[in-house]
Structure 1
Amino acid sequence: MSDIPPPTEPGSEPLPQPEPATRDELLELALLDLRERRAALLSEIEGLEQRRRQLETDLNGSLSGRADGIARRLKGFQDYLVVALQDLASQAELMDLVVQPLQVQPSPLDPVPEAPAAASMAATAAVQQIPPAAAGQFSQDAELIRDRLTSFQGQPDFYADPWKLRRSLEPAAAALLDDWFLNQGGRGAQASTGSRNRNALITAGAVAILGDLYGDRFQTLVLAGEPERLGEWRRGLQDCLGLAREDFGPNSGIVLFERPDALIERADRLEERGELPFIVIDAAEQVVDIPVLQFPLWLAFAATANELALEQDLP
């Protein structure tokens, strides 16, 4: 009974069955779906590539311009720190840890000098302690100074002895030193060249000439308010004068200072010992302390407006 098909109602026809999809149509649908996915992935990859390129551009623009400046500042600070630690060690070795008070009482047998004679002797000693050229206008040494300035404008002597100028001076730099020595008497401000390295070259020329005049009876004191600037001064003077690291320090020919009060104290001590301080003030120092003006030799570089603006822009 179960094998007998059900009777069909009169007037009804069997429903048509859908034809199965062919294999080619299925493959076409699958390929179309894959193409759409591939296009979406390619679009997403392109967007990510654009973001990567934008990030690289931003990073390069913000870091590459400052990388060299940061490296120079770090190098300058490192050099200054090494010299400062060496100076500190040298000063510590010279310090007296226990200072015994010294009391001097006049003896009744000592003769009492007359006041006018004592004052005259003190004045004579004070005059003798001041080198004659520094007290005047270097007029007696004008021929030597101009001869040196002329020779400095020739070919550089890269193998000259230490403390001799190993670089050439431009005519403008030689004229600046001529004015400072012979018109200002070694005491005054001069326009900055716009570059700390060129200012160091001019200072090196002055140091070389002062060395010919006074030998080792003077010491150069450089004032620059930041370690990076002092590092540039040290490298510039070292290159122009053929110096070594040990030539920078409290017991050497050149001492670097960040603070003017320490420089003034050092200059006072030099004069007490009968030596001559040569004070150099960096162009970034906008104010010259009044006590500096009392010393017989000082050279201050006056910065231009552009130079000051560049210094202020530096972090």
Structure 2
Amino acid sequence: MSSDELPISDETTPSEPGAALPELKLPETQSDLVQQEQDLQREIERLAATRDDLQGQIAQTRDALGRVVQQNLAELEQRRQTLQLSIEQLERRQERIRNEMKSSFAGASQEIAVRVQSFKDYLVGSLQDLAIAAEQLELPTFQAEVPQPALIQEAPKSQAAPSPDFAESTFEEKSQKIRSIIDQFRNQPDYYGPVWKLRRTFEPVHAERVSTWFFKQGGRGAIRTMGSRLQNILIASASISILYNLYRDRLRVLILANSPERLGEWRRGMQDCLGVTRSDFGSDRGIALFEVPEPLALKAERLDKDGFLPLIIVDETEENINLALLQFPLLLAFAPSPQQMIQQQSYY
């Protein structure tokens, strides 16, 4: 073995004492590991910082969402309360309308407008009546002329006119005519008929009330209200139409109601059911409206003396009947139901 090979054999023989290990690559490997460790540490720190940033953003987002949710919840709660109040107001208004529609012709949804319009109509009609009455105040100055004998001759004729009494058997022919007219109203309604003829649908319940007033009460008494002023006006219009068919221009209608609004409802209802116009209303016309019974009684007395036939109609809101009204042969009063009387007492 040569001398050149000895070191090689020395290097490759690890069992020899004092032989050095190959440590040249260890420092490089360790430095690489340290470098990798430092890189990993920096990466960990960077990721930790990113994580902290993300957690901070998440916390901010959560807070922002919480605030938005709270604001939206507060707004929704406020809107819910507002809607609840609106619903309660509408329910109370609906209940009030239902209650007033039972006793009101126009209803309560436009009660203020209706009352104002009714009062306006009543004032206009009253002014027209006053104008007519003022014009007629000058007439007595011409009564000093010759026509007094004619008046004296006509007075017994008008006083001799028979008073209507539909309940007596002696008026069987007149009763048959009344029943015939009622049947015609029921079976052959004429919606475009002449003035003073009923122009509305006439149900059996209406016919029953009218027949009761004519044949059981003899045209003088009170009947139970239909619960609606419109229905009462329909019954009164049917009775007026029948009486006009029997007595023509002798008939005079006097309506008593305790407020301008109700008188306005009666005026419009009569125009709708009988086809009459505003010119038919007035103190010396076919229909007269009164708020208090005293002038109505005086007017009825004058009409009776002049040979006319006054028909007194009393609205259901009149609690008491003036005794002066009971002296006339034709009286149609609408009696309120016990429930309506209780409501009126609680209202006043």
TM-score class normalised by the smaller sequence: 0.7 to 0.9
Indicate how the Cα distance of structure 1 residues 167 and 97 shifts in structure 2: closer, same or farther if over 3 A, else same.
Answer: closer
Indicate how the Cα distance of structure 1 residues 53 and 261 shifts in structure 2: closer, same or farther if over 3 A, else same.
Answer: same
**Residues in 1 aligned to 2:137 and 2:197: alpha-carbon distance in whole angstroms:** 41
Pick from 299, 304, 312 the counterpart of residue 279 of structure 1.
312
Do residues 220 (structure 1) and 250 (structure 2) align? no
Aligned match of 2:226: 193
**Residues in 1 aligned to 2:50 and 2:247: alpha-carbon distance in whole angstroms:** 106
TM-score by length of 2: 0.68
Aligned match of 1:3: none
How many residues align? The count is 277
Aligned match of 1:160: 193
Pick from 111, 131, 144 the counterpart of residue 92 of structure 1.
131
**Residues in 1 aligned to 2:204 and 2:94: alpha-carbon distance in whole angstroms:** 36
Pick from 25, 28, 47 the counterpart of residue 52 of structure 2.
25
Letter in 2 for 1:210: L
Aligned match of 2:298: 265
Q: CA deviation at 1:147?
A: 1.6
Indicate how the Cα distance of structure 1 residues 182 and 40 shifts in structure 2: closer, same or farther if over 3 A, else same.
Answer: closer
Q: CA deviation at 1:132?
A: 0.6
Q: CA deviation at 1:92?
A: 2.9
Q: Counterparts in 2 of 1:1-315, with a 5 A limit? A: 22=49, 24-29=51-56, 30-66=60-96, 68-72=107-111, 74-95=113-134, 125=155, 128-129=158-159, 131-134=161-164, 137=167, 139=171, 141-311=174-344
Q: CA deviation at 1:166?
A: 1.4
**Residues in 1 aligned to 2:315 and 2:77: alpha-carbon distance in whole angstroms:** 52
SS in 2 for 1:237: helix
**Residues in 2 aligned to 1:314 and 1:77: alpha-carbon distance in whole angstroms:** 21
- 1:260-291: CA deviation from partner (whole Å, max 9, x where unpaired): 12221221232233222100111222211100
SS in 1 for 2:190: coil
Higher CA-based Rg = 2
Letter in 1 for 2:312: I
Unaligned runs of at least 5 residues, structure 2: 1-44, 98-106, 142-151
Contact 1:77-1:227 within 8 A present in 2 as well: no
Segments of 4+ in structure 1 off by > 6 A? Answer: 96-99
**Residues in 1 aligned to 2:94 and 2:52: alpha-carbon distance in whole angstroms:** 58
Which deviates more, 221-230 or 132-141? 132-141
Q: CA deviation at 1:135?
A: 6.1
Contact 1:76-1:230 within 8 A present in 2 as well: no
Which deviates more, 65-74 or 146-155? 65-74
Letter in 1 for 2:320: V
TM-score by length of 1: 0.74
Return the structure number with greater helix share.
2
Letter in 1 for 2:161: P
Letter in 2 for 1:195: S
What is the alpha-carbon root mean square deviation over aligned residues? 3.3
**Residues in 2 aligned to 1:89 and 1:237: alpha-carbon distance in whole angstroms:** 18
Indicate how the Cα distance of structure 1 residues 254 and 314 shifts in structure 2: closer, same or farther if over 3 A, else same.
Answer: farther
Contact 2:159-2:305 within 8 A present in 1 as well: no
Indicate how the Cα distance of structure 1 residues 245 and 79 shifts in structure 2: closer, same or farther if over 3 A, else same.
Answer: farther
